Amino acid sequence: MAKRVPKSFFQRDTCAVAQMLLGKELVREQIRLRITEVEAYLPDDSACHARSGPTKRNAAMFGPPGRAYVYLCYGLHHLLNIATEPEGVGAAVLIRSCEPLTGHETIYARREGKAGAPKGPALLTGPGKVGQALGVDVSWSGHPLYQAGGLEIREGPPPEQRCIGPRVGIGYADPEDRDAPLRFAIANTPWVSQRKTLTLV
DNA sequence: ACAAGGATCCTCT
DNA sequence: GAGGATCCTTGTT
């Protein structure tokens, strides 16, 4: 298995971390997911949860880089983020989509709803689905992703080509933040949500 | 103490 | 393409 991404990887510009996360692997127990789509949430960003300063919910965003920030969205979806920037600065990268590499049985079991787990990319293209597949919840906020145990990020082959576009679901943000090209995805893969809004880089 | 709204997903038309 | 589910967080009174 590939080695873990070191702590130093996360201590740099949030946009750089977001783009370099494409192709890396999220590993928990027997599940391995290739990261295919991410979004950057920056300091001084009206779309970022940290925009109003630290709170009980977003505290992990202000913590040291390389740790998980998991929060509950719409009362039912657990969204996985990775804290970036030095301690005291509120910024993070949201994991939007993944391609399953191993652990399909567990993923299917966790994603199974009334109609069963969907076949194909609908299985994991969306941040709520990724959180569900990995079995994370808000208690994972603050968990280090650069050390053994629990949830880890490991090296993987970088994408040959990338896509870029505006972020999803942030209509409440200021126009300049709402339209900022801070969403990154691997090109030429079906494991990406909302592909039509993306353009090749 | 209260009201408002959300970094989504799924189903139905 | 549109709407409901569902409940916690946040800012305000």
Task: Please check whether strand C approaches the CB of A58 to within 7 Å.
Answer: yes
Q: What is the pLDDT of residue A197?
A: 87
Which residues does strand B reach (CB under 7 angstroms)?
Answer: A 39, 41, 47-50, 61, 72-77, 79, 81, 92, 94, 111, 113-115, 118, 122, 126-129, 167-172, 193
Amino acid A133 reads: A
Instruction: Identify whether the C-beta of residue A38 lies closer than 8 Å to the C-beta of residue A21.
Output: yes
Report, as an integer, the average pLDDT of A116-141.
Answer: 92
* C-alpha–C-alpha distance, residues A197 and A104, integer Å: 29
Give residue A49's pLDDT band: very low, low, confident or very high (50, 70, 90). Answer: very high
Mean residue pLDDT across chain A: 94
Instruction: Identify whether the C-beta of residue A127 lies closer than 8 Å to the C-beta of residue A94.
Output: yes
> Which of A152, A126, A201 has the alpha carbon at shortest distance from A6?
A152
| Percent with pLDDT over 90 in chain A | 90
Give residue A104's pLDDT band: very low, low, confident or very high (50, 70, 90). Answer: very high
List C-alpha distances in Å: A117 to A75, A95, A102, A114.
21, 20, 16, 8
Amino acid A23 reads: G
Q: Which nucleotide is nearest to A52 (CA to C1')?
A: C10
Q: For A73-88, what is each residue's pLDDT tens digit?
A: 998 999 999 999 999 9
pLDDT at residue A114 tops 70: no
User: pTM (2 decimals)?
Assistant: 0.95
pLDDT at residue A115 tops 70: no
